[in-house]
């Protein structure tokens, strides 16, 4: 029995060591974060291809955006949401900042059964909502008002829709739910992902203001957003 345990230990240790190395490598080179940026870019491209998409006027006037690929929305009576994404704000020159990594979590009570994967885009009228988060968090629908966003490529954000909410949400559903509510969800800063991607324990405020990442992933993200 002892001999078998030693043999099993001998077989398991290399596997655990390889797993540990892979995890450390992903943390150091920011590969997981880079993949998240690529996923966010693909979400924007997918939204652009939709017949009823986010109005161009709204994108041009907004000052902040959050993109969460594959947000998981699940429930059996009591529901929950969990997703990781990125947030960006417009700089004084009208260009988009580098991405800050964020998380979104939330829960709800009511009749709901199923599991849903959703691509979620949140459009912010004012960037102060995101820049003031720094290393904290805020509740959507509590600290800031939220509503389902207007759709239509030709929709004018000035004349065709009263922009009274601070946040407008757009989602592409691929699961069992018909829709998704973000009210009551918590938006927070993903400090570990920011540190992994930018190479230091940098605050979200500094990333929004001064970070200059020239990676292909960030360039593609900004280019895609600029075309919207």
pTM of the predicted model as reported, rounded to 2 decimal places: 0.76
CA distances for 82 relative to 36, 75, 110, 157, 216, angstroms: 15, 12, 18, 30, 27
Domain ranges of the chain: 31-227
Question: Pick from 178, 72, 84, 71: which is nearest to 115 by CA?
Answer: 72
Longest dimension (CA), the chain: 78
| Residue partners of 124: CB distance under 8 A and separation at least 6 | 62, 63, 64, 65, 66, 89, 130, 166, 167
pLDDT 10s per residue in the chain (228 long)?
A: 544 444 444 444 433 333 333 343 334 445 899 999 999 999 999 888 877 778 888 888 899 999 999 887 665 555 567 889 999 999 988 899 999 999 988 765 554 555 667 888 999 988 887 887 765 666 776 667 777 777 665 444 443 455 677 888 888 875 444 456 777 788 888 999 999 999 887 888 888 888 788 899 999 999 999 988
> Is the CB of residue 66 less than 8 Å from the CB of residue 55?
no
pLDDT score for 138: 67
DSSP string spanning the chain?
-HHHHHHHHHHHHHHHHHHHHHHHHHHHHTHHHHHHHHHHHHHHHHHHHSSS---HHHHHH-SEEEEEEEEEEEEEEEEEEEEEEEEEEB-TTSPBPPPEEEEEEEEEEEEEEEEEEEEEEEEES-THHHHTTTTSEEEBTTTB-EEEPP--TT--TTTSS---SSEEEEEEE-SS-S----TT-EEEE-HHHHHHHHSS---HHHHHHT-----HHHHHHHHHHHH-
SS (H, E, C) 127-167: CHHHHCCCCCEEEECCCECEEECCCCCCCCCCCCCCCCCCE
Cβ neighbours of 142 (radius 10 Å): 12
* Token representation of residue 4: 């078998």
pLDDT score for 134: 62
* Token representation of residue 84: 């990781």
pLDDT score for 169: 86
């Amino acid at each position: 029995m002892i001999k078998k345990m030693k043999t099993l230990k001998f077989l398991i240790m290399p596997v655990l060591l390889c797993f540990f190395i892979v995890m450390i490598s992903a943390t150091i080179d920011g590969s997981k974060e880079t993949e998240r940026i690529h996923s966010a870019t693909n979400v924007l491209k997918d939204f652009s291809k939709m017949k009823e998409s986010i109005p161009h006027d709204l994108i041009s006037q907004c000052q902040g955006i959050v993109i969460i690929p594959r947000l998981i929305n699940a429930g059996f009576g009591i529901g929950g949401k969990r997703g990781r994404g990125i947030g960006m704000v417009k700089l004084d020159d009208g260009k988009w900042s580098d991405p800050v990594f964020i998380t979104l979590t939330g829960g709800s009570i009511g009749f709901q059964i199923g599991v849903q994967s959703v691509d979620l885009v949140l459009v912010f009228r004012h960037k102060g909502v995101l820049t003031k988060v720094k290393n904290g968090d805020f509740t959507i629908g509590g600290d800031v008002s939220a509503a389902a966003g207007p759709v239509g490529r030709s929709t004018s954000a000035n004349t065709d829709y009263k922009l009274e909410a601070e946040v407008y949400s757009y989602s592409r559903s691929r699961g069992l739910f018909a829709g998704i509510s973000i009210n009551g969800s918590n938006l927070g800063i993903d400090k570990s992902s920011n540190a992994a991607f930018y190479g230091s324990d940098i605050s979200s405020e500094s990333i929004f203001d001064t970070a200059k990442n020239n990676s292909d992933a960030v360039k593609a993200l900004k280019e895609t957003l600029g075309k919207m």
